[in-house]
């Protein structure tokens, strides 16, 4: 019988103790794994979605709300800004790229974003089917939108106000699906792209719209943001402007210049996302602390189980010694028992962590939208596994030393 078989049989002989120790440790490891996967993927998503955007300009309000709404599309707009004012900022010499966004409506909670092709290029969006939007009320939809709404090329739909399914439908202005984007794990997966003019056409009155069309045919000086209208148009509005600086000097001058205007505010994605992480980090730290408490309790439980079992097995160990087993072999057998318990608990905990996220990804639509799944592995999981094994060895060290010091004559004499 090998040493491993002997230890395994010892564990099987005490199924209740073995199961409790493994369950306690696996629960703690599972919570740590879920937090690791969730936080890492969320941070990566937020960083990827904010990449290439140095500044967001919108109406006065909460800077964090401005970022959440216009970059991550999970909040409501702070208001609209005049296209004329946005145009002035876009033409500033410190601005390399300016992308207009017109928001306000959705379809089955998926936001409809009026913008230009530059927005899709910002996230390296590629077509999976059909074409890009060209005319007002044409749309190109994200991969998640297509899979969860079952919209197909050529289908039409009416939008709703806000991000709910119970808003007022614009049944007189139906959108038509012209194309579907490839999934690329960015915000493009969860939005519906269309021209800025589509948002204006849906919300403006008929007479204003006709005036807009007249204006769009012969603008005196075409707008840089929306070339179909004049740059000095005092009627049209957009929700926000995504800016990329031409040089580092822009980071110093542009936010101050924008915030000095009474109706506009500028928010930095880098600063606001850091603030968001600090807010989310408090809750994550509390859950992580709870997981560590579970792991420590599990370690104590393993120590007590090994210590008590050693008292019951002293006679067996004395017999083993009398039959030729060395002190080192007894020492290693107890260490192996502690290591095997923690290895099983850690492995099951890691599997549970991945399994819970896979289950959430299948059952919860919001998790699918966020693109957070369980089939992702990180190098930190090896650290979790190694740390757990070390914990098992430390907990088994004192019982192992006692096994090493077992006095054969005294034990056999007492029995």
Residue 160 forms part of a structural domain: yes
Q: Is 26 left (phi over 0), alpha (psi -120 to 50) or beta?
A: alpha
Three-state DSSP class for residue 148: helix
Count structural domains, the chain: 2
Look at residue 415 in the predicted model and tell me its pLDDT: 61
- Two tokens, residue 401: 């030393």
pLDDT tens digit sequence for 71-97: 988 888 989 999 999 999 999 999 999
Cβ atoms of 340 and 17 within 8 Å: the answer is no
**Angle, vertex CA 141, rays to CA 138 and CA 145, nearest 5:** 140
Clarify whether residues 223 and 199 are in a common domain. yes
Two tokens at 156? 């039409």
pLDDT at residue 192, rounded to an integer = 95
Strand-pair category, 192-195 with 138-141: antiparallel
Whether 273 maps to a domain, the answer reads no
Q: Is residue 276, in this structure, part of any structural domain at all?
A: no
Long-range contacts of 210-214 (CB under 8 A, 24+ apart): 211/235, 212/236
**274 domain residue, yes or no:** no
Mean pLDDT of all residues in 275-290? 79
* Mean pLDDT computed over every residue of the chain: 85
Residue 110 bridge partners (DSSP): 107
β-strand partners of 180: 129, 141
What is the per-residue pLDDT for 196?
A: 93
**Residues 151 and 234 grouped into a single domain:** yes
Tell me the C-alpha distance between 140 and 125, whole Å.
11
Query: Per residue in 213-230, pLDDT tens?
Result: 444 455 468 888 888 888
Percentage, residues of the chain above pLDDT 70: 94
Structural domain contains residue 272: no
**pLDDT at position 210 over 50:** no
Whether residue 397 is found in the same domain as residue 295? yes
Task: Say which DSSP state 93 is in.
Answer: T
Residues 325 and 345 in one domain: yes
Tokens at 261, concatenated: 């205007």
Distant-in-sequence, close-in-space partners of 46: CB < 8 Å, separation ≥ 6: 72, 273, 276, 277
SS3 371: coil
Q: With 50 as the cut, is the pLDDT of residue 207 above it?
A: no
Q: Is residue 275 in a domain?
A: no
Q: Are residues 394 and 318 in the same domain?
A: yes
Most confident residue range from 33-37, 192-196, 298-302: 192-196
Quick one: pLDDT band at residue 166, thresholds 50, 70, 90?
low
- Give the model's pLDDT for residue 305: 82
The two structure tokens encoding residue 364: 């919860």
Residues facing 102 on adjacent strands: 114
Compute the distance between CA of residue 106 and CA of residue 369 in angstroms, rounded to an integer. 15
pLDDT tens-digit series, residues 344-373 = 999 999 999 999 999 988 888 777 777 778
377 and 405 co-located in one domain: yes
Mapping DSSP onto H, E and C, the string for 306-342 reads HHHHHHHCHHHHHHHHHCCCCHHHHHHHHHHHHHHHH
Is 170 in the same domain as 234? yes
Please indicate, yes or no, if residue 230 is contained in any of the structural domains.
Answer: yes
- 58 contacts 239 by C-beta, under 8 angstroms: yes
pTM of the model: 0.75
Residue 59: the pLDDT is: 93
Residues 18 and 147 in one domain: no
pLDDT score of 209:
45
Closest to 113 in 3D by CA, of 156, 170, 168, 72: 72
Range of the structural domain that residue 386 is part of = 3-46+281-413
**Are 165 and 185 contained in the same domain?**
yes
- Collapsing DSSP states into helix, strand and coil, what is residue 161? strand
Residue 408: per-residue pLDDT: 74
């Amino acid at each position: 019988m090998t040493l491993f078989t002997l230890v395994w049989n010892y564990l099987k002989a005490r199924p209740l103790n073995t199961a409790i120790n493994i369950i306690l440790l696996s629960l703690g490891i599972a919570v740590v794994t879920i937090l690791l996967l969730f936080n890492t993927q969320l941070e990566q998503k937020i960083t990827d979605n904010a990449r290439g955007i140095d500044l967001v300009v919108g109406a006065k309000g909460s800077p964090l709300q401005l970022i959440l709404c216009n970059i991550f599309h999970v909040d409501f707009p702070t208001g609209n800004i005049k296209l004329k004012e946005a145009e002035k900022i876009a033409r500033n010499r410190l601005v390399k790229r300016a992308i207009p966004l017109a928001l306000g409506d959705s379809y089955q909670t998926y936001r409809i974003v009026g913008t230009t092709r530059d927005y899709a290029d910002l996230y390296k969006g590629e077509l999976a089917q059909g074409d890009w939007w060209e005319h007002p009320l044409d749309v190109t939809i994200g991969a998640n939108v297509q899979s969860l709404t079952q919209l197909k090329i050529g289908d039409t739909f009416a939008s709703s106000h806000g991000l709910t399914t119970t808003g007022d439908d614009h049944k007189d202005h139906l959108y038509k699906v012209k194309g579907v984007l490839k999934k690329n794990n960015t915000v493009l997966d969860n939005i519906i792209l269309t021209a800025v003019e589509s948002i204006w056409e849906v919300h403006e009155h008929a007479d204003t719209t006709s005036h807009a069309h007249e204006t769009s045919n012969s603008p005196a000086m075409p707008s840089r943001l929306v070339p179909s209208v004049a740059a000095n148009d005092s009627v049209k509005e957009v929700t926000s402007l995504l800016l990329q600086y031409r040089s580092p000097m822009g980071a110093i001058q542009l936010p101050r210049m924008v915030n000095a205007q009474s109706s506009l505010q500028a928010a930095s994605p880098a600063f606001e996302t850091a603030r968001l992480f600090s807010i989310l980090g408090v809750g994550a730290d509390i859950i992580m602390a709870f997981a560590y408490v579970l792991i420590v309790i599990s370690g104590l439980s393993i120590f007590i189980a090994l210590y008590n079992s050693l008292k019951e097995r002293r006679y067996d160990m004395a017999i083993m010694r009398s039959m030729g087993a060395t002190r080192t072999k007894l020492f290693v057998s107890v260490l192996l028992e502690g290591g095997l318990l923690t290895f099983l608990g850690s492995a099951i905990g890691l599997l549970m962590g991945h399994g819970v996220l896979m289950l959430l990804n299948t059952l919860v639509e919001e998790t699918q939208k966020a693109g957070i799944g369980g089939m992702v592995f990180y190098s930190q999981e090896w650290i979790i596994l190694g740390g757990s094994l070390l914990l098992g060895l430390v907990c088994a060290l004192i019982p192992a030393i006692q096994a090493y010091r077992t006095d054969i004559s005294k034990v056999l004499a007492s029995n």
